Structure 1
């Protein structure tokens, strides 16, 4: 029988709104892939009694309890103390963890202070779990047939200890033998309602499958979950989704749009340069977040001011005066200019009104022009995005990358060509 699993997240910052707690989402997703479920998530402040009470309550209900946060070197990092008090134990220094911490600091050319060394402590009787991306180790504690995992709070450290220790332990102990069978599609270019209508209109109603949607700027995640369908029925349904959604599906794995575009550029032997106005370098930042992107990305120009558009990218003063910075003509000249400047296969540009100020009746907030230049010509697409400034910028970068992706795959770019 699969274990019941609970999460106790500690940290006053999680309750005050200063920090968004994503641990339950990350944990739940990884457990689901094993065919397991997170049964409860509890968040408590940095308070000994609150932590002790929450963990004690979780241990009464669940076989496996994960506790996150409060393992750092400051006065509010009290998770170990609360657990030691709950378990009738004490906090000790783990020599292997201390050695690893000192080695980590040495690699960074930093001296280890006595305060920093507090991170090498664990609850006596537990087993330290190495932290490949941070200073504080995690810990596994076995007590009365229950298993307690203690994980660091920073998201990347939480994920590292989870994937390197907790999940392997669950698999080794036979959990998740009924792993959920599913297919995932990442979609750009269609909203949730449009996808649903398209599927329903074409008679997509497979028995034994649940269809789940989740949305993010410029992306819809569509999942087919096999609740009663056979493997063959799941594959037939997946093939139907591929056929119906066509080029709007940009990935079937956990790939970002920039990873997909990078893979296509490398495969085609093409290169890219970017010119950005309202996104201020966000597009280039996303592209260079992919390791090895220097193979295909030459660089970018953040041409926020009109004089930079003119002096660096060669946008004509007359065009700026007549059409304005947010226009099809300027987007086209930006893309062509950066391609010419950096001598690349493609030039990709963004210019728009991200808001909340700067909009007019003719050019409202959310109007963004995206252009893609290459030897054969230049495509320009006018977009209307809704939401706050950050959302408009995120959408702009995503749709720009998608425009390039479609061209690399020789799909219609859904725009006009000069």
Structure 2
């Protein structure tokens, strides 16, 4: 079975909205052994939808469509597909009642235009939307499955989970086994070089190995039929053993959640003192449910005077060494421990750019410190020259720095890291 994904929406084509749906759907399909032949974004017009669908039908067995199912006149996907498959719209009263109840429960007026979302193709299989008002539509033609879903990501994901369950029941997709191992702070090229011998063995056994890099992190995924589960487990263990300090989790683990689990188990508390990241570290930490059990809060001290007033940084050191220095970042971490009365404190200070760099401290220079009750670990990181990327990198490296300190993996003599 080969799949293609079609995303519909002018907002995608003009760059107003980023198409994250396709990437998520592609990952889900790969996990059940369905390869993607093509992904395309098109305008919300009858001509574009018909021509693209004709093209996809000539190649793919499964076609997934997102977008264009809203209640307004510019959302024409439902009407075009109904005509394309020689179907007709009919009112699904149960869906109409559910939509009306949904609006009333949210104290919103239920209009006739909203009732129109219950007008759906008579002969298509309707996939109920438990998270919104636009139902999914599952058409079949010439042995092919064509499934249209709303473009709102969380609604699409809810419908897609139902679709995947049914696809697995109806089609012989094979029984695939996947394991993913996560690393932080080791470049993809270094990782690949260090496991080159293993990679040759892995591929010789018909196990697929993929490197999935992101900001500061690399995922290594092994995939094969379930009969090779034992082999995959062995190779995952071997890969982890070669990078014990960089390894932090499996599958969909997140650094902030891994750290939270450790802090909870140890009964320890955490605070953050941020300058260049402006609260971005705190945002990642509180995104974890239950973080209030261990996270006390953040002090965002961007200006010199707030570094002095809020966390007790020396005025002399600020003007002598600058905010982006070992002297200042160390005091920020110490001040955070004292002011917030926490066991650990992450402190960040750097030059995110694109302005503010010097020959001595170019854009991308960041100091990160991890304070404990007894000492402070501090390290200079040299990131790149993109402001957003520098901030993202600082957050990821700061979280992992904390993890390494908590677990006793950090070399306190290392003061500089070229990234």
* 1:185 equivalent among 181, 186, 206: 181
Displacement of 1:139: 2.1
> What is the SS of the residue equivalent to 2:75?
coil
What does 1:133-172 correspond to in 2, within 5 Å? 133-163=131-161, 165-172=162-169
Structure 2 distance, partners of 1:133, 1:274, is: 35
Q: Secondary structure at the match of 1:28?
A: helix
User: Which 5+ residue runs of structure 2 have no aligned equivalent?
Assistant: none
What secondary structure, in the 3-state scheme, does the structure 2 residue paired with 1:395 have?
helix
**What is the 5 A alignment of 1:312-323?**
312-323=310-321
TM-score (normalizing by structure 2): 0.92
Residue of structure 1 equivalent to 2:262: 264
Which aligned pairs between 1:224-303 and structure 2 lie closer than 5 A?
A: 224-226=222-224, 230-303=228-301
Answer with 208-217 or 118-127: which moved more. 118-127
Structure-1-length-normalised TM-score: 0.92
In the aligned structure 2, how far is the partner of 1:197 from the partner of 1:205?
A: 11
Give CA deviations for 1:92-111 in whole Å, capped at 9, x if unaligned.
44333333323333333322
The DSSP-based 3-state class of the residue aligned with 1:246 is: coil
Q: Match for 2:7 among 6, 9, 13?
A: 9
Superposition deviation, residue 189 in structure 1: 1.1
CA 1:292/1:102 → structure 2, altered by over 3 Å: closer, same or farther? farther
Equivalent residues of 1:36, 1:175 under 8 A apart:
no
Separation of aligned partners in 1, 2:267 and 2:156: 37
Quote the Cα distance in structure 2 between the aligned partners of 1:93 and 1:404: 57
Q: Secondary structure at the match of 2:243?
A: helix
| Alpha-carbon spacing, 1:121–1:346, altered in 2? closer, same or farther (3 Å) | farther
User: For the aligned residues, what is the CA RMSD?
Assistant: 2.2
Are 1:397 and 2:375 counterparts?
no
Structure 1, residues 196-218: CA drift from partner, whole Å, max 9, x if none? 22223x76631324432121111
1:47-66 per-position Cα deviation (integer Å, ceiling 9, x unaligned)? 11211222233234333221
Q: In the alignment, is the contact (CA less than 8 A) between 1:11 and 1:46 conserved in 2?
A: yes
The alignment partner of 2:399 has SS state of helix
Shift of 1:228: 11
Q: Distance in 2 between matches of 1:205 and 1:285?
A: 41
1:77-116 to 2 correspondences below 5 Å: 77-116=75-114
Q: CA–CA distance in 1 between the matches of 2:209 and 2:281?
A: 32
Going from structure 1 to structure 2, the CA distance change for 1:19 and 1:404 (only over 3 Å counts) comes to same
Secondary structure in 1 aligned to 2:330? helix
Say how many residue pairs are matched: 412
Counterpart CA distance in 2 for 1:153 and 1:24 is 10
Deviation at 1:286, TM superposition (A): 0.7
Which residue, out of 369, 379, 382, partners 2:377?
379
SS in 1 for 2:96: helix
